[in-house]
Amino acid sequence: MVRIAVLDQERCESKRCGRLCYRFCPPVRNNIEAVVFEGDKPQIVESLCVGCGICVRKCPFKAISIVNLADELEEDCSHRFGPNTFKLFRLPTPSSGVVLGLLGQNGIGKSTALHILSGEIKPNLGQYDEPPDWTQLIQHFRGSTLQDYFQRLSEGNMKVVHKPQYVDKLSRVVSGKAGELLEKVDERNKLRQLTEQLQLKTIWNRNLKVLSGGELQRVAIAASICREADVYLFDEPSSHLDVKQRLQVAKAIRSLKEDEKTVIVAEHDLAILDYLSDQICVFYGDPGVYGIVSHVHGVRVGINIYLEGYIPDENVRFRKEPIIFHVKPPVAGLTAGEPLLKWSEIKKSFGEFEFQAVPGEVKRGEVVGIFGPNGIGKTTFVKVLAGIEEADSGETSAEEGLKVSYKPQYISSQYNGTVEELLKETADKEFGTSLYHSQILQPLKMQFLLDRDINELSGGELQRVAIAACLSREAELYLIDEPSAYLDVEDRFSAARTIRRVIENRKVTAFVVEHDVVTQDFIADRLMIFTGEPGVRGFANPPTDLRNGMNSFLKDMTITFRRDPQTKRPRVNKEGSRLDRQQKEMGEYYYMRTE
């Protein structure tokens, strides 16, 4: 057995617990030093650990993880940062003229793999105390594509461009106007085309420090594509972008393969990853503990494998239950159909921006999805319904004393306290019930965060806590703005499934603003499509059924979707393909009725 012990240094407080991991370790009681201390922090000697799991169960801070893996995997270890830290097995296999997609949870090793392939991290094959030199590394990967890759990388004969995951840090290391920066790096004479394609004209003369996350993302992607290189690595290129921008970015990245470039993309939006990629590598394992890279699969097969949770060629099941889509959303509760909220024509203006919503209504037991570009008024509409913003004209009508729960788009961590204290305040008496545990805490993985301070949480953890807090409040109308931001694929579907289950069981209503087409298809019963000119005027159409809403939205973007025959998930048709042309002629942009 390969035994992996991981210690979360930030969570470990051995002095407060009296060093329980040491006191309860069976080898230690037999005078075998399986747990030693370096300062205040314990270190588990993996060669002496018997894998009993007592320290894992006794640790009050959930700082220890111990897993057993097959011996065969040890020879495939690619990198480890140090003792009792994350371990990565295997690496993605890059190929020229092919876009390789990386699919997996957060903390499973995708960014680490990209750092290795970019040359920012030299793989140590798990030998962190005595790292191998380049000759040993190249010998280790002999007979594979990676042998030639690392050979060229070690000799400096390969140029790699890496678009990092966190673009909000770009303005800290680079200063100046967006246009001037892009002109400096335009080595491939692609800037004029990208400026039009990625809508960069409006921010051309603006300083990087004042750009939003979505604007910085487009600048970073344009800068990467403009540079001349052999290999292009993109880490989560769709974050902060709306649906139309995501598809434009996907087209721009995919154009690199025309010049026989090697392109690797880590992405959580399944529709965009499907559209972008030719091949897929699935990452599986235990987040923060270890990650394993699967063999290369075709894009359709690779994504379906991930949704199924089972890899046939390796005979490995990494998820207990598959993720299932429905061509028609499941029927809601018996009381669905009773109107809960109506609104008249609503108008609201902010300086130069004008927003208008036509009259509409929503019913109990349904989830209404909201689609539209950034800066078109989606959040404004939700805030008017929540009572946070007051409309210039128009009003909403509902039962007297309608209770509303609102999760904002941008989440602050100003609450001073733990996750458990926050959820106890919002859920009140329901917090200790088995129903609350099974409906909210368990699917959103809150049990691992309850003792954590809100101010210490990452973006994805904070998002899950915000969704849990919103659903914990007793309300009849839930307004949820961009719940999938910062979440990986599994967490997105867990959040979507949780929202659906709560809305149906409580016979209440939800509005969900979301840019991920696959998540919206998974969660929504009906859609509201927002149109107009971003930053100038926005128009909200009334709720319509999912099919007509998607058709209207996709027609405006000239993109067609089909259903995968196996998983029923939405798939983007390649532009100009036979099915794309056929569906456009029929006016069926979502999927054909014959399916």
Structural domains in the chain?
A: 2-69 (3.30.70.20), 73-159+231-245+260-322 (3.40.50.300), 166-228 (no CATH), 339-545 (3.40.50.300), 558-595 (no CATH)
pLDDT attached to residue 334:
39
Q: How many CB atoms lie within 10 A of CB 400?
A: 4
Sign of CA dihedral 30, 35, 39, 40: negative
Which residues contact residue 478 at a Cβ distance below 8 angstroms, ignoring those fewer than 6 apart?
Answer: 404, 405, 406, 407, 470, 471, 499, 502, 503, 508, 509, 510, 511
Sign of CA dihedral 110, 112, 116, 120: positive
Partner residues linked to 511 by β-bridges: 368, 479
Tens of pLDDT, residue by residue over 455-499, are 888 888 999 999 999 999 999 999 999 999 889 999 999 999 999
Nearest Cα to Cα of residue 369 among 350, 388, 382, 356: 382
- Contacts of residues 351-356 at CB distance under 8 Å and 24 or more positions apart, as own/partner, are 352/535, 352/536, 353/377, 353/535, 353/536, 353/537, 353/538, 354/536, 354/537, 354/538, 355/380, 355/381, 355/537, 355/538, 355/539, 355/540, 356/537, 356/538, 356/539, 356/540
| Coil, strand or helix at 132 | coil
Cα angle, residue 410 at apex, residues 406 and 416 outer, rounded to 5°? 80
Confidence of residue 171 (pLDDT cuts 50, 70, 90): confident
Residue 381: burial class (beta carbons within 10 Å; 0-12, 13-18, 19+): buried
Q: Is it the case that residue 336 has pLDDT exceeding 80? A: no
| Coil, strand or helix at 325 | coil
| Coil, strand or helix at 3 | strand
pLDDT attached to residue 485:
86
Place of tokens 């995997």: 73
d(CA 589, CA 39): 62
More confident residue, 388 or 444: 444
More confident residue, 292 or 213: 292
pLDDT attached to residue 71:
87
Sheet holding 396-398, edge to edge: 360-363, 339-343, 396-398
Q: How many CB atoms lie within 10 A of CB 424?
A: 17
Helical residues (DSSP H) of 350-509, grouped into ranges: 378-386, 419-427, 434-436, 459-472, 489-506
d(CA 95, CA 84): 33
In 346-458 the beta strands, taken as DSSP E runs, fall at 346-350, 353-357, 360-363, 367-371, 396-398, 404-407
More confident residue, 352 or 48: 48
pLDDT attached to residue 522:
87
Mean pLDDT, the chain, as a whole number?
90
Phi and psi angles of residue 312, each rounded to the nearest 5 degrees, phi first = -60, -45
For residues 89-105, b (16+ Cβ closer than 10 Å) or e, as one string? bbbbbbbeebbbbbbbb
d(CA 458, CA 98): 33
For residues 529-552, b (16+ Cβ closer than 10 Å) or e, as one string? bbbbebeebbbbbebbebbebbbb
The tokens describing 117, both together, are 């392939």
Mean pLDDT of 434-443: 94
Are the CB atoms for 226 and 259 separated by under 8 Å?
Answer: no
How far from 278 is each of 123, 262, 488, CA to CA, in Å?
A: 26, 12, 21
Q: Is it the case that residue 335 has pLDDT exceeding 80? A: no
Q: Is it the case that residue 243 has pLDDT exceeding 70? A: yes
pLDDT attached to residue 332:
45
Percent of the chain with pLDDT over 70: 97
pLDDT attached to residue 209:
87
Tens of pLDDT, residue by residue over 96-124, are 999 999 999 999 999 999 999 999 999 99
Confidence of residue 154 (pLDDT cuts 50, 70, 90): very high
pLDDT attached to residue 518:
87
pLDDT attached to residue 368:
95
Mean pLDDT of 328-337: 48
* Of 406-415, 459-468, 518-527, the least confident: 406-415
Helix (H) or strand (E) holding 247: helix 243-254
Question: Helix 419-427 vs helix 459-472: angle between axes, to the nearest 10 degrees?
Answer: 20
In this structure, the strands spanning 316-317 and 310-311 are: antiparallel
d(CA 257, CA 235): 17
Tens of pLDDT, residue by residue over 29-64, are 899 999 998 788 899 999 999 999 999 999 988 899
Partner residues linked to 371 by β-bridges: 529
Confidence of residue 593 (pLDDT cuts 50, 70, 90): low
d(CA 203, CA 584): 33
Tally DSSP H helices, then E strands, for the chain: 22, 29
Tens of pLDDT, residue by residue over 554-576, are 888 888 998 898 888 888 888 88
